[in-house]
Structure 1
Amino acid sequence: MAHPTDDKNFRLPTTLRPRRYQATVTLDLEGRTFAGEQHVELELSQPTTEIILHANALELGEVTFRTGNDVRKPVSKRVAPVSETVVLTFDAPLPAGSATLDVLWTGHFSDGLRGLYAAGKVAATQFEAADARRLFPCFDEPAFKARWALTVRVPEGHTVLGNGRGVKDEKDGALRKVTFEETELLSSYLIALVVGPLVGTPEEKAEGIPVRTWALPEKAHLAKFGQDAALQVLPRLQDYFGLPYAFGKVDQVGIPDFEAGAMENAGLITYREVALLLDPATAPLSVQKRVAEVVTHELAHQWFGNWVTMVWWDDLWLNEAFATWMAFKIVDQWRPDWRMWLDFDAHRASALALDALKSTHPIHGEVRNAGEAGESFDAITYEKGGAVLRMIEGFLGEGPFREGIRLYMRKHARANAVKEDLWNALGEAAKQPVNELATKWIGQSGFPLVSVKVEGRKVTLSQRRFYSEPEVRSPETWPVPMVLRFEDAGGVKEQRVLFRDAQTTVTLEGGSGDVKWLCANGGSTGFYRVAYEKPALDALKANLGTLAPSERISLLADTFALVRSAQAPVADLLDLAARFGDEEDEAVLDELIGRLGYIENRLTEGEDQERFRRWVEGLLGGGLKKLGWQAAPGEPDRVRLRRAALVRAVGGLARSPQVLAEARPLVQRMLQGDKTALDANLLDTAVGMVARAGDSALFDDLLQRMPREPDPATQRRYLMALTAFEDATLAERAQGLLFTETVKTQDVASFATGLLGNRTGRDAWWAQLQKRWKELVARTGAAPMLLRRVVEGLGLLRTREQLEQMKALLQANPIPEAQQATAQTLERLAQDVALPERVAPEVAAWLKRRP
């Protein structure tokens, strides 16, 4: 007879809950095995003959149930691999009330990057979503919060870190025994251990909270920036939430091989090294901003996720969307000169692209099991979720929104919550119908295309769902909180509208007479696309300099999206792009170059491609000549970033022979140790550009430097440069590296994707990839995030034939952990293949019309 645990979607019964784990684990770092013993304090709300624990690849030894003088042993221990559980059956009902379960067990380190695994010299854990069960027999669902009192026995000579402070450190035979302070109530996915030859920064305090940042000894000099970021943002987060930090201390650790960017384990945050460690003297500003953002994201989770936790993985977005939005808000408070919200807009673009597909999913969707939870770590959950929260904050106002968050934190302290709890708290604080706004945006996939017609002071708005595929239509509408920003004789004004219907007409307030221009997504805070009728679009083009940078970015992005979906001719995009030759804002240049790069790569070939490159060089080359390669002493960051964008456009995209010739000796000087040869913000582009045209001597040089390089950003730069060499022999050599130890597990997806981006090596690599697909999948260690990224990388294929081959490959070798990514990548690639068939002749005709 089938047991409920034989179903992959099995959920633990709520009639039995853990209250406290007291566990000791002994690690054999050489043999990569462990042994554990634990006492779990339980609360049974009704009698039962079964206790069901999660356990994955663990060997359970003696198990004892104790309550008062009643001591029982299970009559059977049944392993259910499908649900990753073990069922302990007793010969008589266990009584309701408090009890203790004693368990002994053994196990092996995991082979991939989950559970307890070896990352080079470091042993580390990664438990989200559901891998605590790979180290502990436990109740491994987020609703089962408990206190954890952990002790670890390891060989001497290692740093040992846990969620709490070490309260006892003693010799235990040949081993060292470290006992950690008991934790607050935590879900099992937030428990962590790290053991290895790590060195920490001196302890510093942020409003009384001890903070340290840890790295391998050869990278210890790179820890200060991440340490300083934590010290800066912790007080700001405490102030925002109106609640003190709850987990005693903050340890941040750079892990040498790590699946995600970082993990918010309570009090012990683990990071991929490139997301934590850097040298401010040589790190590009983009890397510094990314580290600050990731550090803040993980610290925001200490409240939103760790203190108040979702009940189940369908509300994962509550954690991730909030931390995404909060990171940008707090870093922007700390460093307003960084203009973080423009970076947020760039992140949001990936969510808009994904959410325009038929294969998208709602922010809040059904998650039937922990395996499906892994698919939720995408741009919809993070970036769309964050953008919707920002939109709701814009509608409610910063003050009421924050009061709602504080109320939510107080009401659900140390407990679990669902999305309705958040809406109720926000609605109570703001006295606004938050539920209507939020439910539609969170529960319905997609977003609207708002069409805009301006006649005098009347603005006609209409909305329908936007799809990137031509001719696809559906009738959904949204309550769209819009900011109309416009200029009339009285100056620039804003008017807020909650646009609920399929169509409405708005009369602009504050005067009479025509408007000079109108932007229908003022400040670019809305998660929607805009299509303007020609007179309104022409007015915006004529007044580009008056628009905010974020609005210029949206205008470019929306026009590209309309071209892609066959709702605007490609000439509209090219004519608009031609107006940006004098653009000085680096964020707008980044957007422009991204769109031009797509046209060069996908929509032009042969003579047209060369003609387009020369047009780009003509458009932006003058700006680069004026700036030159060398930064002046004291030059502002924004000028440095503009130079970097222009080098990327003229040297990278347009492949200017002159710019390449200028870059070669500068890269050579940098490699020979001259740190002043190139501004840090130019390094990625310059090294990549020179590598693309490089010879075997340069390939060998980068290959030798890469593993020895302590700085993770520099190491990654050299690693990815190896995928760029367009000499056929060197491209083939790079392809062979993927299946060697040269490429760490964490870098397998990005390296494979880099090889698919190599124009001369792509076809040969794709032919090889089809034969070695199972080998590539195995190289990811079955890490769900890496598997998804491997599949997404296939979106760089180009031809209809390759699209059909990709379909066949993924049908014959399905990847359950990447079902959504498979559907989305196939759909997007089908559109990428169809677009040049439709518009390449228009691009060619437009180029011929240019002088």
Structure 2
Amino acid sequence: MAHATDDKNFRLPLTIRPRRYAATLTLDMEGKSFTGQQTIELDLEKPSNEIILHAIALQLGEVTFRAGNGKSFKPTELRPVQASETVVLRFNEPLPQGEGALDVAWTGRFTEGLRGLYAAGKVAATQFEAADARRLFPCFDEPAFKARWALTVRVPPGLTTLANGALVKDEQDGNLRKLTFQETEVLSSYLVALVCGPLVGTPEEKVQGIPVRTWALPEKQHLTRFGQDAALAALPRLQDYFGLPYAFGKVDQVGIPDFEAGAMENAGLITYREIALLLDPATAPLSVQKRVAEVVTHELAHQWFGNWVTMVWWDDLWLNEAFATWMAYKIVNDWKPDWRVWLDFDTGKAAALHLDALRSTHPIRGEVRNAHEAGESFDLITYEKGGAVLRMIEGFLGEEAFREGMRQYMRKHARSNAVADDLWKALANASSQPVLELANAWIGQSGFPLVSVALDGRTVTLSQQRYYSEPGVKSNERWPVPMVLRFADAGGVREQRVLLREAQTKVTLEGSGEVKWLCANAGSTGFYRVQYDAAALERMSANLAALEPSERISLLADQWALARSGQATVAAFLELAGRFGGEEDDAVLDELVGRLAYVESRLVEGEEQERFRRWVEKLLGAGLKKLGWDSAPGESDRVKLRRAALVRAVGSVARSPEALAEARPRVERMLNGDKTALEPNLLDVAVGMVSRAGDRALYEKVLEKMPGEPDPATQRRYLMALTAFEDPTLAAEAQKLFFTEKVKMQDVASFMMGLMSNRTGRDAWWAETQKRWEDVLGRTGRAPMLLRRVVESMGALRERKQLDEVRKLLTTHPVEEAKQATEQTLERLEQDVALRERALSEVSAWLKRQP
């Protein structure tokens, strides 16, 4: 007869629950295998003839159940079930209700990919989220089954071994070392972790009594200081925000040499991709420093939100991730206010708006039937849109009420599991606002509104409809849109809050006199786009300096979105862009240059492309000439970043021969060890543009330096440079590298994206990708995040013929782990191809009209 476990959507029964695991693991680092034995203390709500555990590719040995009354039971059958990744232990008489203990012995092998227990170079590391603890332990591998974990590990001598708890005993055991770790607080299985390898750590430092250390391979030890400082800065601020002490005894942070995600918030033992933790502050661009600070803080925020209070099931994964995303920016902003990290947050939000404008988007909270579907949920909607919606709600409720609600939630659900509605209730309780209505409308419904604004005297007409980036698609959906209007009149600049619930409404602006300008998304905190009527748009464009940088960014982004959806022309966007020639804010310049780069790479050809490049150079070249390439002593970060944006505009988008001539000798000197040749924030753009035009000698030099480079950001810069060479012979050589160990598994998707973006190599690489599709997928170790990004890289193609080929490839050889990414990539590429076909002649005509 069929058993419930034959269904891949099988969920464990709630009648048997673990309370404590006491496990001993023996690792064979050479043979890449392990043996384990453990006792799981259980509670049986009622008598049962079977116990079901999760296990993948584990050989179970001796199994015994010991009842509370002293009686022992041996299973008559151990049935592994592949569909549900479980093993069913059947007993020929019912196990009694109450407390019991299950003794299990097993053996297994390291995983070949980047999940379970795997080899990352010389380091053995675990990665269990969403559901891979079952590759190392037979266990109850669902987040609702929280238990204490007491781990003992037997390993070869001379290696550093770290676990969730502090090391409490270190003994000789034959020719192995036997290490006993502090028993943990109650944890879901996905938060258990183990790392073993030749790692060295910073000296232990305590902050508010919590010992903190940051670990790396010996040759990277000099890169650990910044990540350590970020943790020391974040922990006290997080304890203060939640009003709760840190619960997991100590913090170890470890840079892992090959890692699928950015980082993982295992309780007390946080693992990172090296580039998200290790850096040299003397040479690291500010973007790298901010990224490390943000990731460290994100993972530490999870120690409360996620680890202390955990979601019941993966359909609330978004809450974990959205919260940590938003919280990280809040804490880093408090630590380094001059970094203006909320503008970086807006960059993530912009990517989510782009994705959420597709028909193939999904709600922030969607049904997740099994752990594999959870793996597909780690996307921009979950993290960035989720974070943006939390920020929008906080903006509407006010910071104090929001924090009080958070604290109530953490206290009420301490050590246990919760669902999203528990959080909304706490926030509503603290703020007396309609939080449930707001939250559930934004979380349960996909997409977002386009708010149209018409200004007549002091009357503003606001109307909403869903925004789709595909031209001509209409829908009547509505949202409760929490809007903050900012405007200037005779009395100065003021703000007014409006909750737009209807399809259309009229609002009278407070105050008196003529309205000089109106911004309908103050500080850009709302997750919606705005379409201004001609008069309101003209007033904003004429008063750009009065707008905040985030509002200028939104103005450009919204105008571009209207061009994409056919509700405005690309020419109108370029007219607006032409007013930003004197822009001095680096974040606004980044937005502008990003849009101009899209036009240059997709919407102009031949001599039009050359004409467009000269227009860009004329618009922004004077700003670069004034600044020059070298930074002055004591120069602010703002100025350094402005220079980097202008070099990108002039050197990379406009491909100015003058800029290339300036960059080339500097890159040569930098490759020969001169650290002063390039200001750190110019490194990425300069190396990229010089490689694009580079010769064999440069290619060989980069290829030789790349593998041995200890600094992960520098190594990545060289890796991506190899994909940029436009000399056809060198482009072909870079393509061959893809199938070699020179490109680490974690970097396969980025390298693929680089090859797909190479103008001279793209067609050949696309032909090769189609021919060797199985080999391409094989290079990812079938890691779901990497597979998704490999599929997304095809979005760099441009022609309708290629779109048809992508569709054919992904239909005949579907990637099961990336169904969502497949739909989204096809839809986005379809729109990009259509925009190109529609805009080529329009942009050409506009360029001819320029002086």
1:588-643 deviations in whole A, cap 9, x for unaligned? 00000011111111111101111000000000000000011100111111100000
Aligned to 1:7: 7
CA–CA distance in structure 2, aligned partners of residues 339 and 552 of structure 1: 15
Structure 1 stretch 236-245 or stretch 832-841: which is displaced more? 832-841
Q: Which amino acid aligns with 1:438?
A: A
CA–CA distance in structure 2, aligned partners of residues 540 and 365 of structure 1: 38
Aligned to 2:772: 772
Secondary structure, aligned partner of 1:495: strand
CA–CA distance in structure 2, aligned partners of residues 384 and 184 of structure 1: 32
1:718-755 deviations in whole A, cap 9, x for unaligned? 00000000000000000000110100000000001100
1:45-82 deviations in whole A, cap 9, x for unaligned? 11111100000010111110001321001100011001
Alignment of 1:570-609 (within 5 A): 570-609=570-609
1:619 maps onto 2:622 in alignment: no
Secondary structure, aligned partner of 2:255: strand
Aligned to 1:312: 313
1:491-547 deviations in whole A, cap 9, x for unaligned? 11100001111000000012x232011000010000000000000000000000100
Secondary structure, aligned partner of 1:614: helix
Identity of paired residues, percent?
Answer: 76
Aligned to 1:82: 83
Return 5+ residue gaps in structure 1 as ranges: none
CA–CA distance in structure 1, aligned partners of residues 16 and 740 of structure 2: 47
1:777-822 deviations in whole A, cap 9, x for unaligned? 0110110000000001110011111111111111111111100000
Aligned to 2:430: 429
1:147-190 deviations in whole A, cap 9, x for unaligned? 00000000001000000000001110010011100000000000
Aligned to 1:726: 726
CA–CA distance in structure 1, aligned partners of residues 649 and 205 of structure 2: 43
1:85-139 deviations in whole A, cap 9, x for unaligned? 0000010111110000000000000000000000000000000000000000000
Secondary structure, aligned partner of 1:708: coil
CA–CA distance in structure 1, aligned partners of residues 485 and 778 of structure 2: 51
CA–CA distance in structure 2, aligned partners of residues 35 and 808 of structure 1: 45
1:219 maps onto 2:220 in alignment: yes
Aligned to 2:493: 492
Q: Which amino acid aligns with 1:506?
A: V
Aligned to 1:51: 51
Aligned to 2:506: 505
CA–CA distance in structure 1, aligned partners of residues 74 and 480 of structure 2: 58
Secondary structure, aligned partner of 1:790: helix
CA–CA distance in structure 2, aligned partners of residues 806 and 184 of structure 1: 49
1:475-500 deviations in whole A, cap 9, x for unaligned? 11000000000000111110000111
Aligned to 1:529: 529
Secondary structure, aligned partner of 2:706: helix
Q: Which amino acid aligns with 2:358?
A: L
Q: Which amino acid aligns with 2:55?
A: A
Tell me how far 1:225 sits from its aligned partner: 0.2
Alignment of 1:552-571 (within 5 A): 552-571=552-571
CA–CA distance in structure 2, aligned partners of residues 686 and 819 of structure 1: 37
Aligned to 2:799: 799
Aligned to 1:684: 684
Q: Which amino acid aligns with 2:565?
A: S
* TM-score where L is the length of structure 1: 1.00
Q: Which amino acid aligns with 1:64?
A: T
Tell me how far 1:452 sits from its aligned partner: 0.3
Q: Which amino acid aligns with 2:86?
A: T
Q: Which amino acid aligns with 1:236?
A: R
CA–CA distance in structure 2, aligned partners of residues 422 and 666 of structure 1: 53
Aligned to 1:751: 751
Aligned to 2:346: 345
1:231 maps onto 2:232 in alignment: yes
Q: Which runs of 4+ in 1 moved over 3 A?
A: none
Secondary structure, aligned partner of 1:353: helix
Alignment of 1:385-424 (within 5 A): 385-424=386-425
CA–CA distance in structure 2, aligned partners of residues 564 and 432 of structure 1: 36
Q: Which amino acid aligns with 1:160?
A: T
Aligned to 2:380: 379
Aligned to 1:35: 35
Secondary structure, aligned partner of 2:498: strand
Aligned to 2:206: 205
Aligned to 2:25: 25
Aligned to 2:172: 171
Tell me how far 1:836 sits from its aligned partner: 1.3
Tell me how far 1:39 sits from its aligned partner: 0.1
Q: Which amino acid aligns with 1:772?
A: R
CA–CA distance in structure 2, aligned partners of residues 58 and 779 of structure 1: 25
Secondary structure, aligned partner of 2:707: helix
CA–CA distance in structure 1, aligned partners of residues 396 and 623 of structure 2: 39
Tell me how far 1:842 sits from its aligned partner: 1.0
Aligned to 1:637: 637
CA–CA distance in structure 1, aligned partners of residues 657 and 439 of structure 2: 52
Return 5+ residue gaps in structure 2 as ranges: none
1:441-487 deviations in whole A, cap 9, x for unaligned? 00000000000000011000000100000011111100000000000
Aligned to 2:336: 335
CA–CA distance in structure 2, aligned partners of residues 81 and 663 of structure 1: 56
Q: Report the RMSD for the aligned CA atoms in angstroms.
A: 0.5
Tell me how far 1:572 sits from its aligned partner: 1.3
Aligned to 2:674: 674
Aligned to 2:163: 162
Alignment of 1:835-850 (within 5 A): 835-850=835-850
CA–CA distance in structure 2, aligned partners of residues 643 and 829 of structure 1: 32
Secondary structure, aligned partner of 1:707: coil
Tell me how far 1:420 sits from its aligned partner: 0.6
CA–CA distance in structure 2, aligned partners of residues 837 and 729 of structure 1: 30
Aligned to 1:121: 122
* TM-score where L is the length of structure 2: 1.00
Secondary structure, aligned partner of 2:478: coil
CA–CA distance in structure 2, aligned partners of residues 688 and 697 of structure 1: 15
Aligned to 1:457: 458
Alignment of 1:701-740 (within 5 A): 701-740=701-740
CA–CA distance in structure 2, aligned partners of residues 369 and 750 of structure 1: 28
Q: Which amino acid aligns with 1:802?
A: Q
CA–CA distance in structure 1, aligned partners of residues 567 and 3 of structure 2: 54
CA–CA distance in structure 2, aligned partners of residues 703 and 297 of structure 1: 34
CA–CA distance in structure 2, aligned partners of residues 272 and 574 of structure 1: 39
Tell me how far 1:33 sits from its aligned partner: 0.2
Q: Which amino acid aligns with 2:115?
A: R
Aligned to 1:824: 824
Secondary structure, aligned partner of 2:809: helix
Aligned to 2:258: 257
CA–CA distance in structure 2, aligned partners of residues 802 and 93 of structure 1: 61
1:232-276 deviations in whole A, cap 9, x for unaligned? 110000000000000000000000000000000000000000000
CA–CA distance in structure 2, aligned partners of residues 710 and 579 of structure 1: 43
CA–CA distance in structure 2, aligned partners of residues 397 and 97 of structure 1: 48
CA–CA distance in structure 1, aligned partners of residues 814 and 50 of structure 2: 36
Aligned length: 850
1:339-363 deviations in whole A, cap 9, x for unaligned? 0100000110010000000000000
